Structure formats: C-alpha cells, structure tokens
Structure 1
Amino acid sequence: MMSEAKSTIVPTSVGIETVQSNPVVHPGGRKKKASRGVNGTAIMLVGLVLLFTGWALAVKYMEIPSYILPSPAAVWNALWSGLAVSPASPLGYYLPLWGTLKNAAIGLAIGSGLGLLLGSLMAESRVIEKLLMPYAFALQSLPKVAIAPLVVIWFGFGDGSKIAISALLAFFPMLINSFTGLRSVEPERIDLMRSLSASRFETYRIVKLPNAAPYIFAGLDMAVVYALLGTIVAEFLGAQQGMGVVITQAQAVTDVAGVFAALVILGAMGILLHGIVRGLEARVVHWADRGRK
C-alpha cells in the first residue's frame, strides 16, 4: 500500500504555503509504472504491425494502383532515400523538417503566449471579456485556409507568413483553455486569499494559475499540433523550403510514395511533440497526474 503525503496549509503574510511531509512510496510502485509503460509500448507496436500488414495485403490482393495507394515497401524506400543522406543535403528531409519545425515553434510561442495573456486578462476582468471574447470567436470561425492567402500577401513568402499562420492557429486553444481554467477556481480559495490580504497578482500566481495549469497544458497540447498544421498550410501557398514544399514537389511528379513518406514524418513529429508536452505536464502539474491515477 502507498501512504499518501500529508499536507498542511500555512497562512503567511503574502499568501498560502503548503508544507508536505515526505510520502512513503511502496517499492512496487515504480515497477508497476514501468510495467504500464512497457504494456502501452507493446500495444502501440502491435497496432503498427496490424496496420502495415493490413495495408500490404489490401494493396496486393485488391490490386490497388500505386498512384492511389502505394505499398508500405514503396513508402519505406521513399522515406529511406530522404533519411539516408547527409543532414546538410538539400535532397534529404532534414533541412525541410528543420525549417518547418523552427517556424512552428516560433509561431507556437507567440500564439500560445498571446492566448495565455489575453485569457488571463479576460478571466480577471468582465469588461475585457465582453470586449474581446466575441472577436476571438469571430476570428476562430473564419476558415484559416481562406485567410492564409491574405497572410501571405501581408507578410510575404518568407518565414513571416508561416510564423503568422502558425501563431494564429495556436492562439485560440490556449486562449479558451486558460480562460476556462482561471475561471474554474473555487470561490472559497479566493475568499481565503482575500482574508489574508493577498493582492490580486498574488491570488493569480498562488491560486488561480496552478489551478488552471491542467487546462493550460491541454490547450498547449492542441496548440502544438495546430502550429505545425498552420506552418504546413502556409508552405503549400508559397515557400522555398519546408515539408509542405516537399509534399507539393512530390505531388507535382505524381510521387505518391514520396507524399506518404513526408506524411509519415509529420505524423511522427506530431506524436513526438505530443509526448514532450505530456512529459512536461507530468513534471509541472504533478498533482493532477496523481489525481488521474
């Protein structure tokens, strides 16, 4: 059995301090956690084997043309031809992938930062909420594919348009999730901070922001995928480098296997980025992770 850590709330002059005693962890706890990780990896590998087996059998026995659905072997050959080169080679996937991830990361930082800032302001002020929320929903309801050509005209065919569209797509998930999380604080906790003469910023930092952290990471998890998607959409419209350019060039010569290879790389990047966000969430919002377990 695992004994829970005991916590004591101690009021101070600037807020609330939580003192926790060291929990007694059963030695088998880590083994069970590792076993769950191994089981999850095994299930994922079995799923991949079944997927590729079904794919190969469908192509072979249903006689699907290669220009519609290439075989897994053809996709693997196209993938390997772009990976088995020097990272500095313009014929490989490394330089385009780096360009896409760089612009997506910058756009994610800008969009999620603005989303968190405006979400916090709207959660703190009803006036700001009524002023900005309708326009935020109106902006989100616009089809981004229709806005993308305007963004390219405004920011050019360089990295600026890719970053702008990436930030635009990453903005709304962070805005809504941070606003919802900050507004979901129990009134009793706010009253307690007021009784301790805490300032508004201290209440936000000590109570509201930790309470909203699971919501914020959920928004960040979606924003990562949307930022990558926005960068690819911008590269379709015009770029010199990027995975969107790789897909467009492969499509122009009817290299369907090359298109699938680029999609496999993007899918792998999405899984990797999702894992990074979840790992960061498990370290930062550790109390929510224990609650889920």
Structure 2
Amino acid sequence: MMSKPDITLAVADPTIESAPASESPPRAPRPVNGTLIAGLGLVALFAGWALAVRFLDVPSYILPSPAAVWKALWSGLAVSPSDPLGYYLPLWGTLKNAAIGLAAGGGLGLLLGSLMAESRTIEKLLMPYAFALQSLPKVAIAPLVVIWFGFGDGSKIAIAGLLSFFPILINSFTGLRSVDPEKIDLMRSLSASRFETYRIVKLPNAAPYIFAGLDMAVVYALLGTIVAEFLGAQQGMGVVITQAQAVTDVAGVFAALVILGAFGILLHGIVRGLEQRIVHWGNRGRK
C-alpha cells in the first residue's frame, strides 16, 4: 500500500508586511537662480523709480529720472579712457588707492590677529586699543589723517587701510581661536612646531572667517577712499561727486553712485569667487 505524499502548504503570515512597491526618489528642489532674482529686483526698482518721478511730480533736483541718470552716466562712459572729463581716470584713482589701503590694512590686521590668537599677553595688550580705535568716528579722524599725510594719495590709502583693518583683525582672531583642541593635541603628538600647527591646522580653519572679514573690508576700503577724496583730492570719484554737487548736477551725483554701487557688487563677487576657489573644503557642507 503506497503512502500519500506529504504536501506542505505555505501559508502567508499576516504579520509580515509585503515589500513596498518601488517608489521614485523624491525630487531635489530646484536651486534658486540668484542672478534672475537680482535682475527682477533691479527691474522693479527702476520701474518704481520712474513711476514715482513721473506721477508724483518729484523735482529733478531731489530725485532725477532714470533716463536723466542714464544720460549723465553715458556722457562719462562714452569717452576715451584718457579723457579727464570721463569716469575712467577718477575711478582708476579711487580703486588703486582703495586696493593699496586694503592690502596694507588687511595684512596688518591678519598679522596682529594671528599674534593675539597665539599669545594671551599680546591679546590683552592690543585688543582694548583695537576696539578703542574702531569706536572712534572715522569722519572725525579723516581730517587729521589728511593733515598728517597731505592731500595726495597717502591720506586716501591711510583711511582705506584704517577702515579695512578691524574686520580682518577680529575675524582672523576669532577663526584662529575656534580651532578644535583635539586637532591641536594631534599636532603636538606629532611633534609639530608652532608654525606648522598654525599653517596646517589653524590658518585653514580660520580661512572662512578671514574671507568674511575681507568681504566687509573691501567695501570699507572703497568707502574710506571716497571719504578722503571728499576732504581734498585732485582726482577720484569723490571729486566727481563733489564737483557735481557744486553745480547742482543731481543726475551726475546719481551716476557716480551707480558706478560705485556696481563696483561694490563686483568686488563682493570677486571675494566670494576667491573664497569658493581657495576655501574649497568649506563648501562641501553647502553642496
């Protein structure tokens, strides 16, 4: 007599969840186009400006129309770069003095910030005077600087360096002091010298802070140069603004301000570009 085969039926366990169907991964949000937003904001600004001047009957000596500003701007740009009546020579003089002052003030700020970060004694010695110097109104100091350095380029460079000094100083000091102590202990265990620890660990850690201070110092250096040119100069954008004010050329004043604002944005973009290229390890988290 043949035995029946043992047949085992597989019963699905109701407690076991079925595997979910394959789902498409969530779409990453589209990056916001900053250039497009800035362009739309600029268009809205000029449109509101033109409408306000036209429908509110604002006098031209208070707020000129965008067309009048563009005409004054074009009259200074559509000339030879060597023409003294154009904007090229004054702009070059202002940018040159601002760049020299930025290099001098920023270099001194980085040097003193590094020394204060390395030595508590130097920090206690110099930090109070640095804050005292920063708290002084630069408009009140500018006439003294002009008296000391004269009406030439020296006073412009000095004021630009004075204004760009403190942002680099305080940001470099903060960045150098914010290093992880474990990294310092690791370098000591490797018998690294103090300068090697500064170069390999501390300075790269402080680089984002230094570039943040440089971003502010660039604008401050340009501002300091313009202030010095207001007090007395033979050439520069500050002289252009002063001459336009003397003849009540408000459109010319606005044209010079537009140029300075555009170069402020350009310098900010240059600093950000250098930061992304040099401090590449700081951009990994953003990506």
Give the TM-score taking structure 1 as reference length.
0.87
In structure 2, distance between residues paired with 1:281 and 1:81: 36
1:220 aligns with 2:214: yes
Letter matched to residue 66 of structure 1: S
Letter matched to residue 119 of structure 1: G
1:53-202 correspondence to structure 2 within 5 Å: 53-202=47-196
Runs of 4+ in 1 over 4 A off after TM superposition: none
In structure 2, distance between residues paired with 1:137 and 1:40: 36
Tell me the secondary structure at the aligned position of residue 101 of structure 1: helix
User: Number of paired residues?
Assistant: 260
Letter matched to residue 159 of structure 1: D
1:282 aligns with 2:271: no
**Structure 2 counterpart of 1:273, from 267, 270, 282:** 267
Letter matched to residue 256 of structure 2: A
Describe the superposition over 1:190-212 as per-residue Cα deviations: whole angstroms up to 9, x where unpaired: 00000000000000000000000
Letter matched to residue 212 of structure 1: A
In structure 1, distance between residues paired with 2:110 and 2:43: 40
Shift of 1:40: 1.7
Tell me the secondary structure at the aligned position of residue 292 of structure 1: coil
Shift of 1:130: 0.1
Tell me the secondary structure at the aligned position of residue 86 of structure 1: coil
Tell me the secondary structure at the aligned position of residue 263 of structure 1: helix
Contiguous gaps of at least 5 residues in structure 1: 1-31
In structure 2, distance between residues paired with 1:210 and 1:160: 33
In structure 1, distance between residues paired with 2:238 and 2:286: 38
In structure 2, distance between residues paired with 1:290 and 1:52: 37
In structure 2, distance between residues paired with 1:74 and 1:36: 37
Letter matched to residue 284 of structure 2: R
In structure 2, distance between residues paired with 1:270 and 1:80: 19
Shift of 1:292: 2.2
In structure 1, distance between residues paired with 2:196 and 2:35: 42
Tell me the secondary structure at the aligned position of residue 291 of structure 1: coil
In structure 2, distance between residues paired with 1:118 and 1:36: 40
Tell me the secondary structure at the aligned position of residue 168 of structure 1: helix
Shift of 1:287: 1.1
Letter matched to residue 41 of structure 2: G
Question: Which residue in the other structure is 1:254 paired with?
Answer: 248
The RMSD of aligned alpha carbons is: 1.3
Give the TM-score taking structure 2 as reference length.
0.89
Shift of 1:265: 0.1
In structure 1, distance between residues paired with 2:129 and 2:115: 15
Shift of 1:36: 4.4
In structure 2, distance between residues paired with 1:289 and 1:252: 48
In structure 2, distance between residues paired with 1:36 and 1:151: 47
Shift of 1:185: 0.2
Tell me the secondary structure at the aligned position of residue 284 of structure 2: helix
Contiguous gaps of at least 5 residues in structure 2: 1-27
In structure 1, distance between residues paired with 2:157 and 2:100: 6
Letter matched to residue 136 of structure 2: L
Question: Which residue in the other structure is 1:22 paired with?
Answer: none
In structure 2, distance between residues paired with 1:40 and 1:210: 28
Instruction: Quote the sequence identity (%).
Output: 88
